[in-house]
């Protein structure tokens, strides 16, 4: 992921005529929840309020967490899920999932990580006609639990659990991924690698699956047409470490739809291509363009279990790819409907420039009401908006205060934040990097007087001169 030491931050491109303009909400590490406008102006900061992720309810209510557990004893555990108002006052909180009694004074913890959803909206980002209210009735929370499963691994494991709670904090439903280990169809080679190293964390626990999203499937035409796999109450998730996307039946707990980890067993999967380390797999909600399709941020990077290979001596993280893509696809045929990858950012010489769009960790994608797609390239701290034709119409580079790593970001409609005045939208044209230099630097000018010297017999590169490796 090569990057210059100096590059512009803030909003670097903005076409108001083509954007679905609004605010962008994200959490800056060591800073708190942040809300910016399209020109990159910070319009609100909720200092030290964390979130994995932070979300907003119409009316300027923010969801996130007051505290995280010490990383020396817990891996990515948040102590609570909390709702605050525009002025930072706590309106609701939940923490009574696990009695942890931590040395720093955290007695009870929700152990929430990576995702949660509120009743009324399946995916956590704005959807017309599917809006959450501050007095929501139920919440879906992705949590951790410590378990010992010697047949899977001799190491203690972090179990990814999904719970449903009511507003009073009562647990109404609970599901454990470890309990369904044998349903995923792992090969003996994969099981062997998991047994030896289930992605060990500094806490001494194996983060075997690393589930990083959990959404309701939500209302959809597949279910209306009789496909029970896509019951709106079912839950769609993905496993970063196992390279799997799957749907769980809310009624039975069984896995009813799955893609990965084997992307070679059918012609459709081979055409679809390997998903590596995915994030934010979800069904595009009813009421948005592309409704019923599944969208995933296919990170690339390193993930997966299997036989040792040239990338892995132990069988851990056997899949590697230096580039990301966002994929929208038909869940019944696996046909790719829309895709965004390095070529759309300007990587015309792929694969040499696939790192132009690359976040091996974190990240998300959100379908907007006008058909555009909002993308958070998390490890770079870059937010982008693309049209259906893959035109980049907005780009923002986080100034990397504290850390540039952004877990997830969301585009928020203007009318969700009545506390703020109407925002000025100033267009920013795309800069031609071949012409742009910093003050004091000289342009790359081959036509300047006295620069060019002809060499007798020199012909330059022939057409079609081969690279060291093919570009396909």
Q: In order of start, what are the domains of the chain with their CATH numbers?
A: 10-416 (2.120.10.30)
Sorted by sequence, the CB contacts under 8 Å of residue 457 that are 6+ apart come out as none
The answer to whether 321 and 301 have CB atoms below 8 angstroms apart is: yes
Q: Side by side, which strands form the sheet with 373-377?
A: 10-14, 392-397, 382-386, 373-377, 364-367
Q: What is the rounded distance in angstroms from the CA atom of residue 59 to the CA atom of residue 56? A: 8
The answer to whether 146 and 160 have CB atoms below 8 angstroms apart is: no
pLDDT of amino acid 463: 65
- Gap between the terminal Cα atoms of the chain: 20
Tell me the Cα Rg of the chain.
23
Element (H, E) at 37: none
The answer to whether 357 and 372 have CB atoms below 8 angstroms apart is: no
Residue with tokens 């022939």: 462
Judging by DSSP bridges, how do beta strands 23-28 and 32-36 pair with one another?
A: antiparallel
Tens of pLDDT along the chain (472 residues)? Answer: 567 888 899 999 999 999 999 999 999 988 999 999 999 999 999 999 999 999 999 999 999 999 999 999 999 999 999 999 999 999 999 999 999 999 999 999 999 999 999 999 999 999 999 999 999 999 999 999 999 999 999 999 999 999 999 999 999 999 999 999 999 999 999 999 999 999 999 999 999 999 999 999 999 999 999 999 999 999 999 999 999 999 999 999 999 999 999 999 999 999 999 999 999 999 999 999 999 999 999 999 999 999 999 889 999 999 999 999 999 999 999 999 999 988 877 766 666 777 889 999 999 999 999 999 999 999 999 999 999 999 999 999 999 877 789 999 999 999 999 999 999 999 999 998 888 899 999 999 999 999 999 999 998 876 666 666 665 5
Element (H, E) at 375: strand 373-377
Buried b (16+ CB within 10 A) or exposed e, 391-423: ebbbbbbbeeeeebbbbbbbbbbeebbeeeeeb
pLDDT of amino acid 347: 67
408: its two tokens: 């997830």
Instruction: Fill in the DSSP letter of residue 78.
Output: B
Give the pTM. 0.95
Q: Side by side, which strands form the sheet with 279-283?
A: 279-283, 294-298, 325-329, 336-341
285: its two tokens: 């909600």
Buried b (16+ CB within 10 A) or exposed e, 337-359: ebebbbbbbebeebeebbbbbbb
What is the three-class DSSP state of 318? strand
């Amino acid at each position: 992921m090569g990057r210059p030491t100096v590059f512009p931050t803030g909003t670097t491109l903005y076409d108001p005529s083509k954007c679905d303009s609004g605010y962008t909400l994200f959490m800056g590490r060591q800073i708190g929840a942040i809300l910016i406008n399209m020109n990159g102006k910070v319009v609100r900061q909720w200092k030290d309020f964390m979130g994995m992720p932070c979300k907003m309810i119409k009316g300027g209510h923010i969801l996130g967490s007051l505290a995280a557990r010490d990383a020396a004893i817990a891996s990515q555990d948040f102590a609570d899920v909390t709702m605050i108002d525009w002025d930072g006052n706590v309106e609701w909180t939940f923490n009574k999932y696990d009695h942890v009694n931590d040395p720093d004074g955290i007695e009870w913890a929700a152990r929430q990580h990576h995702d949660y959803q509120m009743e009324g909206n399946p995916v956590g980002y704005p959807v017309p006609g599917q809006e959450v209210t501050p007095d929501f009735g139920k919440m879906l929370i992705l949590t951790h639990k410590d378990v010992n499963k010697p047949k899977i691994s001799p190491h203690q494991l972090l179990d990814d659990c999904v719970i449903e709670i009511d507003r009073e904090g009562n647990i109404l439903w609970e599901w454990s991924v470890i309990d369904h280990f044998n349903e995923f169809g792992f090969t003996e080679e994969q099981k062997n690698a998991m047994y030896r190293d289930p992605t060990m964390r500094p806490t001494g626990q194996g983060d075997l699956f690393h589930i990083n999203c959990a959404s309701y499937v939500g209302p959809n035409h597949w279910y209306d047409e009789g496909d029970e796999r896509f019951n709106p109450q079912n839950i769609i998730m993905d496993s970063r470490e196992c390279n799997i996307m799957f749907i769980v039946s809310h009624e039975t707990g069984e896995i009813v739809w799955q893609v990965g980890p084997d992307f070679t067993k059918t012609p459709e999967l081979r055409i679809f291509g390997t998903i590596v380390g995915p994030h934010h797999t979800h069904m595009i909600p009813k009421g948005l363009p592309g409704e019923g399709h599944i969208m995933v941020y296919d990170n690339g990077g390193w993930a997966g279990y299997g036989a040792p290979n040239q990338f892995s001596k132990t069988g851990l993280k056997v899949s590697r790819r230096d580039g990301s893509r966002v994929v929208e696809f038909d869940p019944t045929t696996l046909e790719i409907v829309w895709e965004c990858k390095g070529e759309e950012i300007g990587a015309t010489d792929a694969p040499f420039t696939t790192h132009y769009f690359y976040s091996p960790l974190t990240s998300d994608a959100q379908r907007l009401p006008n058909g555009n797609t909002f993308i958070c390239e998390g490890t770079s701290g870059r937010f982008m908006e693309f049209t259906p034709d893959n035109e980049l119409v907005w780009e923002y580079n986080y100034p990397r205060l504290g850390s540039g790593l952004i877990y997830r970001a969301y585009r928020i409609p203007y009318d969700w934040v009545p506390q703020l005045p109407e925002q000025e939208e100033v267009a920013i044209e795309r800069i031609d990097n071949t012409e742009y230099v910093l003050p004091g630097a000289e342009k790359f000018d081959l036509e300047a007087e006295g620069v060019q010297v002809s060499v007798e017999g020199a012909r330059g590169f022939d057409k079609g001169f081969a690279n060291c490796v093919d570009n396909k």
